Amino acid sequence: MTDFYAIDSALSEEERAVRDSVHRFVDERVLPIIGDCYVEGRFPRDIVPELASLGVFGANLPEEYGCAGLNNVSYGLIMQELERGDSGVRSFASVQGALVMYPIFAFGSDEQKRHYLPKMASGEIIGCFGLTEPDYGSNPAGMITMARQQSDGTWILNGAKMWITNGSTAQVAVVWAKTNGDKDDKSIRGFVVPTNSKGFTARDQKGKLSLRASDTSELVFQDVHLPADAILPKSGGLKSPLMCLTQARYGIAWGAIGAAIACFEEATSYAGNRVMFGKPIGGFQLQQARLAEMLTEIVKGQLLTLHLGRLKDAGTMTPQQVSLAKRNNVSVATDIAREARRLLGANGILAEYASMRHMANLESVYTYEGTHDVHTLVLGQAITGLNAFQ
Amino acid sequence: MKIAVCIKRAADMETRFKIAPSGTSVDETGVKFDIADFDGFAVEAALQIKEKEGAGEVTVISLGADAVQETLRKALSMGADKAVHLKADAVPADALAIARVLAAELETGGYDLMLFGRMAIDAANQSVGPMAAELLGVPCVTAASQLTIANGKGTARRELEGASEVLEFPLPAVVTIDEGIARPRLPSLKGIMAAKKKPLEVKPVQAGESRVTVIKMELPPERTGGRIIGEGPDAVPELVRLLQTEAKVL
Ligand SMILES: Cc1cc2nc3c(=O)[nH]c(=O)nc-3n(C[C@H](O)[C@H](O)[C@H](O)COP(=O)(O)OP(=O)(O)OC[C@H]3O[C@@H](n4cnc5c(N)ncnc54)[C@H](O)[C@@H]3O)c2cc1C
């Protein structure tokens, strides 16, 4: 395991134990199958019950809801290990935990929490998170999906969401919609929508060249009738989905380092074995420089996420700090994956090796959960106090 | 059913070893430690027996410095119920000295079944289990690859190069476990959290005089590069010949 800076010594015994369990799970259950899943364009659903019994879903939520009750550093390490396997597997867990269980936990009623969280922790219910729309990606405030409350308190939902991870797999969708004809983003509320509701359709988005071992779907709501208690009562305004994204982005910052580690380790091993011009290619300065750059960025990313995790556990982490980590770590991971792919020569384009799969996956990760550019502007505003979005 | 499993903290065999400057021990920096391989199988065997019986208690016991508590907690996170840390500065090299300490603890526990790994993966003595059995005056089966308990009796299967042997024995007994039994389970994340709340008793012990001393440790010689003899089926006869005459492994 790549730990050049003895970061293990800064982890607690429990954090290491969590990491080691998920590490072994990924070695034994994800790595042997993921290349084929990727080529075939399917999410490995078979491993969902095993991920659930391992305790991965919503692992940082409290035990009273059937979750593991881990701290945020442990949670980050889980994401790192899952993405060492594949970004699609990590995305599944991120959506389930940070984008569906978290909003139910943070904005839901007691009944919603008691009903959904244990079943989601056990993998019995799979969730998806619908924020992005065909015409509103980086600017979700402009969304046009609308929920209207009827005189009996029930709701009618109309609109469409796009690029929704787990969309066709999920039994429940957390859908963000404006309410009662009000176009201001303050009217945005979250709704817990069973995917078998009449008027709800999900369609697999075909033709992806990235995140192929993940279900990405388009959701359409046509006069979907929801009970009064489908609303997440404590949600209010765009701030609510953004709070979920902060949770998920936190995990992504860790996950990206996992993908980078997978590529670095593959490249290192290849460099040691592949003989060209009479010696292992790892003996040539150019390849050594590649590996040195990769390792340096990995170590920086590891230290960044570990400190971010400690801030989150202390309750002082800010969304801007998360933006910096997501932006940096995904960007360096993307570069590392590409360099690893190149070091592998022709073999690097095969699904048998992991680097090109990670490289292609990370392009999605670069774009979702706030594009790299959007996080640049978040930082720009944090630095200057001037808002580039307006 | 009360089951005890004696486990040793040992280096993960996948790590690269360096010998410490003393020349008589392994340099532990950067080395990952875990439950010794066969001892992990023994923990799994104990948990499966308990689960099959639907009742019982699994106690894990380890002798060593404070670091063994991590190893004990790993077993607790797999599902063991309680742990005993026999606290000593170091684990002696003398198997009998270890067996004496463990047997003294096992004697007080009233266990029906006492499991060990077939051998500790690092010392590879294969003797602590049988010695403890002898000291306790109970039957001992070594290197069991299957183990069932029914009606107060145990049945164990041992394998040797394709042949096998099935033995029956009364309880209490000592059984040392071979790897065929079942893969040790992964500690679940909830199991890891639960382990922190399970009892871990620390008992200072004096390991008696060790009559065996490590004088020197050496790494095996560096492996030289491989050799390609030929390709495809044509190369097989030559490969077999070299394996017989040169490598002398066939
Ligand atoms: C595989 C995958 C899974 C996804 N899963 C989900 C999901 O589960 N739920 C969900 O709700 N969404 C999901 N998304 C959607 C994702 O969050 C959006 O794609 C993302 O927010 C970007 O939106 P967009 O694609 O519409 O790009 P746009 O917003 O159209 O951006 C296009 C380009 O313009 C740039 N840009 C935009 N605004 C500015 C600006 N102000 N200044 C400078 N440059 C700007 C962007 O950085 C980008 O380069 C997923 C996306 C992918 C690819």
Which residues constitute the domain of residue B158? 2-204
The answer to whether residues B198 and B83 touch, using CB atoms and an 8 Å cutoff, is yes
pLDDT digits (tens, 9 = 90+) for A291-340: 999 999 999 999 999 999 999 999 999 999 999 999 999 999 999 999 99
Query: How far, in Å, CA of B73 to CA of A352, rounded?
Result: 37
Q: Is residue B219 part of a domain?
A: no
Distance from CA of B164 to the nearest CA of A (A): 30
Whole-model pTM: value is 0.93
Using the 8-state DSSP alphabet, how is residue B235 labeled?
G
CATH superfamily of the domain spanning A7-121: Acyl-CoA dehydrogenase/oxidase, N-terminal domain (1.10.540.10)
**Which of A131, A158, A139 is closest to A241 using CA atoms?**
A131
Query: How far, in Å, CA of A244 to CA of A98, rounded?
Result: 6
Using the 8-state DSSP alphabet, how is residue B13 labeled?
T
**Torsions phi, psi for A103 (to 5 deg):** -60, -35
Query: How far, in Å, CA of A187 to CA of A179, rounded?
Result: 5
- Domains identified in chain B, total number: 1
Kindly give the interhelix angle for A355-367 and A87-94, rounded to the nearest 10 degrees: 40
Element spanning B144, H or E: strand B140-150
Q: Is residue B225 part of a domain?
A: no
The two structure tokens encoding residue A116:
């959904």
The sign one gets for the Cα dihedral B65, B70, B71, B72 is positive
pLDDT digits (tens, 9 = 90+) for B105-144: 999 999 999 999 999 988 888 999 999 999 999 999 999 9
- The 3-state secondary structure of chain A, one letter per residue: CCCCCCHHHHCCHHHHHHHHHHHHHHHHHHHHHHHHHHHHCCCCHHHHHHHHHHCCCCCCCCHHHCCCCCCHHHHHHHHHHHHHHCHHHHHHHHHHHHHHHHHHHHHCCHHHHHHHHHHHHCCCCCEEEECCECCECCCHHHCCCEEEECCCCCEEEEEEEEEEECCCCCCEEEEEEEECCCCCHHHCEEEEEECCCCCEEEEECCCCCCCCCCCEEEEEEEEEEECHHHECCCCCCCHHHHHHHHHHHHHHHHHHHHHHHHHHHHHHHHHHHCEECCEEHHHCHHHHHHHHHHHHHHHHHHHHHHHHHHHHHHCCCCHHHHHHHHHHHHHHHHHHHHHHHHHCHHHHHCCCCCHHHHHHHHHHHHHCCCCHHHHHHHHHHHHHCCCCCC
CATH superfamily of the domain spanning A127-230: Butyryl-CoA Dehydrogenase, subunit A, domain 2 (2.40.110.10)
* pLDDT recorded at residue A5: 95
Q: Judge whether residue B26 has pLDDT over 80.
A: yes
* pLDDT recorded at residue A154: 98
The set of residues, in sequence order, having a beta carbon less than 8 Å from that of B135 and lying 6+ positions away, is: B99, B100, B103
Q: What is the mean pLDDT of chain B?
A: 93
Q: Judge whether residue A198 has pLDDT over 90.
A: yes
Position B23: which residue type?
G
Contact check, Cβ <8 Å, A13/B187: no
Tell me, in angstroms, the distance from the centre of ligand 1 to residue A140's CA: 9
Rg (CA), chain A: 21
Mutate to test the pocket of ligand 1, among A367, A375, A378 (most ligand atoms within 8 A of CB): A367
The answer to whether residues B78 and B47 touch, using CB atoms and an 8 Å cutoff, is yes
Provide CATH 2.40.110.10 ranges for chain A.
Answer: 127-230
| Mean pLDDT confidence for A67-78 | 98
Other residues' Cβ atoms within 10 Å of the Cβ of residue B9: 23
Q: How many angstroms separate the first and last alpha carbons of chain B?
A: 46
Q: Judge whether residue B249 has pLDDT over 90.
A: no
**Which of A285, A296, A289 is closest to A260 using CA atoms?**
A296
Pocket of ligand 1 (CB under 6 A): A 95, 129-132, 137-138, 163-165, 211, 216, 364, 367-369, 371, 373-374, 377, 389
- Using alpha carbons, list the distances in angstroms from residue A389 to A139, A297, B135: 9, 30, 78
Query: How far, in Å, CA of A237 to CA of A178, rounded?
Result: 9
Distance from CA of A81 to the nearest CA of B (A): 14
Q: Judge whether residue B13 has pLDDT over 90.
A: no
pLDDT digits (tens, 9 = 90+) for B231-247: 889 899 989 998 888 88
Q: Judge whether residue A164 has pLDDT over 80.
A: yes
Q: Across the A/B interface, how many CB contacts are shorter than 8 Å?
A: 43
The answer to whether residues A61 and A105 touch, using CB atoms and an 8 Å cutoff, is yes
pLDDT digits (tens, 9 = 90+) for A251-284: 999 999 999 999 999 999 999 999 999 999 999 9
Indicate which residues of A carry an active-site annotation: 369
At residue A104 the predicted structure's pLDDT band, cuts being 50, 70 and 90, is very high
- Cα–chain-centroid distance for residue A312? 17
Percent of chain A with pLDDT over 70: 100
Tell me, in angstroms, the distance from the centre of ligand 1 to residue A367's CA: 5
* pLDDT recorded at residue B62: 98
pLDDT digits (tens, 9 = 90+) for B205-226: 998 888 898 999 998 888 777 7
Provide CATH 1.10.540.10 ranges for chain A.
Answer: 7-121
Contact check, Cβ <8 Å, A63/B193: yes
Residue reference for tokens 């609109």: A159
The answer to whether residues A164 and A129 touch, using CB atoms and an 8 Å cutoff, is yes
Contact check, Cβ <8 Å, B189/A78: yes
The answer to whether residues A67 and A386 touch, using CB atoms and an 8 Å cutoff, is no
Q: Judge whether residue B162 has pLDDT over 90.
A: no
At residue A21 the predicted structure's pLDDT band, cuts being 50, 70 and 90, is very high
The answer to whether residues A198 and A224 touch, using CB atoms and an 8 Å cutoff, is yes
| Mean pLDDT confidence for B156-171 | 93
**Torsions phi, psi for A203 (to 5 deg):** -130, 130
Q: Is A239-384 CATH 2.30.30.90? A: no
At residue B160 the predicted structure's pLDDT band, cuts being 50, 70 and 90, is confident
The CATH number given to whatever domain includes residue B127 is: 3.40.50.620
Q: Report the DSSP beta bridge partners of residue A231.
A: A191
Using the 8-state DSSP alphabet, how is residue B200 labeled?
E
- What is the chain A residue with the closest CA to B194? A68
The answer to whether residues A161 and A193 touch, using CB atoms and an 8 Å cutoff, is no
The answer to whether residues A172 and A193 touch, using CB atoms and an 8 Å cutoff, is yes
Query: How far, in Å, CA of B40 to CA of B117, rounded?
Result: 7
Element spanning B236, H or E: helix B236-245
Distance from CA of A2 to the nearest CA of B (A): 11
* pLDDT recorded at residue B122: 86
**Which of B89, B97, B137, B92 is closest to B114 using CA atoms?**
B137
Q: What is the mean pLDDT of chain A?
A: 97
Q: Judge whether residue A386 has pLDDT over 80.
A: yes
Q: Is residue B221 part of a domain?
A: no
* pLDDT recorded at residue B248: 83
Mutate to test the pocket of ligand 1, among A132, A212, A217 (most ligand atoms within 8 A of CB): A132
- Cα–chain-centroid distance for residue B159? 17
Other residues' Cβ atoms within 10 Å of the Cβ of residue B95: 21
Q: Is residue B167 part of a domain?
A: yes
